Structure 1
Amino acid sequence: MSTIAVIGLGIMGGPMAANLLEAGHDVIGCNRSPHKVQALISRGGRGAETVAEAVAQADVVLTVLPDSPDVEAVVLGAAGVLASARPGTLLIDSSTIRPDVSVRVAGAARAAGVRAVDAPVSGGEAGAIEGTLSIMVGGEVADVAAARPVLEAVGSTIVHVGPAGSGQIVKAANQLIVAGTIQLVAEALVFLEAHGVDTDAAVEVLAGGLAGSRVLDRKSGGMLARQFAPGFRVDLHHKDLGIVTSAAREVGVAIPVGALVAQLMGALRADGHGELDHSALLLLVEQLSGRRRD
């Protein structure tokens, strides 16, 4: 079993660290909010006050951070991962960030004698808790093989998709599909309600046909109940759709539906709903339809 420093114990990182503990690893947590470190300690993990302190003791460093600047600061900073890691340490970045930043981080890691893979995850908070995340991994073959035992403790689908940065490209595609599907589910639910249909029965039959999806299964109940406690925040999906649209523009790929959903997500965020779950796109559909509830 490895000693693993987990940097970032939020909605995804906290459950992932817990599952690493459950698998028998020695886990050291570091987070800006101390109470999340204490929660890990209460489960049998260890805590560190700084990134440098956590990384200096680790064989593996797992970063689960909100955005590209966070990863750059934590990994490349003067007291960051690369400055503190022992030669041969394995860095697994499970943040969702720009692919070019992942490539740059991997190059800097290699120059510092640290192995690095980008391994963003999909499955939301429920998948993180259940240890059933889908993980798309970019990096060298040998480094991905070294990361696999760690990733198997937090995910059920682990696929090497190419060299450094490839995991982030696949994650961007994932976020494009998820956002588009949530938007269509939101539209369908508001449409059904407007016609007075039994929505629970409607969702049951839709889920059994070609319209069925993981998004429909996991999100429709909360959407119908207007419960939008975040499993994945609007703020973060807004950021991810910015990554998608930028990466698509770089290679000249048209994503007209994705670009529209990115605008809708941005509008929902601008309306003050950034902290809600991304399934709150339903609120925007209601507003556009003149059916918004108080």
Structure 2
Amino acid sequence: MDKRYAFIGNEAVGDVVRERLDAAGWTRTADVASAGMVVTYCTSQTALEDAYFDENGIVQAASPNTVLIDLSASTPSFARELNAVAIVSDLAAVEAPLVVADPMLSDALSDRDNLMCLVGGEEDDVEAARPVLDALVGTVQETGGSGSAQLARAAYTLQTSAQIMSAIEADALYRAVQRSSAAFGATFGRAGATTPEAEQVLAAVNAGRFDGAYTVEMLMSELSAALMAADDVDLILPQAEACLHLLELLAVIGGADKAPSALALVYGEEAACAENGLDWTRAEQAYASEEAGEDCDYDDDGGDGDGGDFPGGFGAYSAN
């Protein structure tokens, strides 16, 4: 087996891939044409499409029989398209969207057992990709043919994002009530949770743990992919859209590289936001630009995201 691989995309994930595969005896190369495996992880659909289908993209550059492993959250339709193109190009395409079990850990990507891949594709192609996937993550869950893993990823994302948001809003309610009336004192404690995912969120918020390897940008990319998958079948998902707007808001004020637990800051005091590097004047400027009919791009820190229009009415989400 040719144990040379290339990685394209987000370098935070790329660092994890390099560490794990180097330890497993693989060698990273910058030359896609010389790689037996090409691993990708992008945080926007545009970046992903460019990586594979540009004039000098992976499909054009890869040698015959190269295995393409995409760790990104994308759509079932993109996965099927990539698989079809790979077949006619003498390549093997495997969709293996990365899942972080506890995204609130500060080192969420460092623990192999905290990572899982949902894997879809042709049976022989998945088998060929297994050595790389087994080295990268603690659990590999096969889902079926092309498109199935991205569909499973979208469903997982919708449930996870809903639990993150509901836990943060429950906590925000407790804090707001306790701020507004000293009569409650400490008798109500903090918001509780009934699911492991919500407990993870509340633990991070209560500890003030708003930085981590798994970022708002990553969650946005996963949620955007789920919404695109729904759009492909003319399905409207209001809850997911509302969650994405809040994530966009957090990104606008400087939180794209924060952990998702930082959403709690949006509901809190401006001073707490400032202490954590968030600037509400950026939201005011973005909102003014939208009022003037201009597009605004939240991703002004050099990430590979597409950016997004600032959601109007940001004041409704905060006491500021």
TM-score grouping bracket, smaller chain normalisation? 0.7 to 0.9
- 5 Å-filtered alignment, 1:116-265, equals 116-123=93-100, 124=103, 126-132=107-113, 133-193=115-175, 194-195=177-178, 197=186, 206=192, 211-214=194-197, 216-217=199-200, 219-253=201-235, 255-265=237-247
- 5 Å-filtered alignment, 1:264-283, equals 264-283=246-265
User: Which residue does the alignment assign to 1:7?
Assistant: 8
The answer to whether structure 1 residue 56 and structure 2 residue 33 are counterparts is: yes
User: Which residue does the alignment assign to 1:45?
Assistant: none
Q: Contact 1:137–1:159 (CA<8 Å) still a contact in 2?
A: yes
The separation in 2 between residues aligned to 1:127 and 1:149, in whole angstroms, is 22
- The aligned amino acid for 2:6 is A
Aligned CA distance change for structure 1 residues 221 and 291 (closer, same or farther; 3 Å) = farther
User: Which residue does the alignment assign to 1:112?
Assistant: 89
The separation in 2 between residues aligned to 1:170 and 1:80, in whole angstroms, is 27
What TM-score do the two structures reach when normalised by structure 1? Answer: 0.77
Equivalent position SS for 1:232: coil
Aligned CA distance change for structure 1 residues 228 and 127 (closer, same or farther; 3 Å) = closer
Q: Contact 2:43–2:221 (CA<8 Å) still a contact in 1?
A: no
Q: Which runs of 5+ in 2 are unaligned?
A: 179-184, 270-315
User: Which residue does the alignment assign to 2:279?
Assistant: none
The separation in 2 between residues aligned to 1:85 and 1:170, in whole angstroms, is 28
Q: Contact 2:209–2:261 (CA<8 Å) still a contact in 1?
A: no
What TM-score do the two structures reach when normalised by structure 2? Answer: 0.71
Aligned CA distance change for structure 1 residues 116 and 18 (closer, same or farther; 3 Å) = same
- The aligned amino acid for 1:91 is L
Moved more, 104-113 or 245-254: 245-254
User: Which residue does the alignment assign to 1:21?
Assistant: 22
Q: Deviations over 1:199-255 (max 9, x none)?
A: 9x857xx56xxx1314533x4343224442243333343343233223224435453
- The aligned amino acid for 1:283 is L
**C-alpha RMSD of matched pairs (Å):** 2.8
Aligned CA distance change for structure 1 residues 202 and 24 (closer, same or farther; 3 Å) = farther
Q: Contact 2:4–2:35 (CA<8 Å) still a contact in 1?
A: yes
- The aligned amino acid for 2:222 is D
Q: Contact 1:182–1:281 (CA<8 Å) still a contact in 2?
A: no
Q: Contact 1:137–1:161 (CA<8 Å) still a contact in 2?
A: yes
Q: Contact 1:128–1:154 (CA<8 Å) still a contact in 2?
A: no
The separation in 2 between residues aligned to 1:197 and 1:183, in whole angstroms, is 24
What is the CA-CA distance between 1:271 and the residue it aligns to? Answer: 4.3
The answer to whether structure 1 residue 73 and structure 2 residue 50 are counterparts is: yes
Q: Contact 2:75–2:228 (CA<8 Å) still a contact in 1?
A: no
Question: For 1:101, which of 52, 66, 78 is the aligned residue?
Answer: 78
The separation in 2 between residues aligned to 1:104 and 1:257, in whole angstroms, is 28
Q: Contact 2:7–2:38 (CA<8 Å) still a contact in 1?
A: yes
Q: Contact 1:241–1:262 (CA<8 Å) still a contact in 2?
A: yes
Q: Deviations over 1:167-195 (max 9, x none)?
A: 22222222212211111121232234344
Q: Contact 1:64–1:93 (CA<8 Å) still a contact in 2?
A: yes
- The aligned amino acid for 1:130 is D
Q: Contact 1:68–1:101 (CA<8 Å) still a contact in 2?
A: no
What is the CA-CA distance between 1:198 and the residue it aligns to? Answer: 8.5
- The aligned amino acid for 1:12 is V
The separation in 1 between residues aligned to 2:317 and 2:68, in whole angstroms, is 47
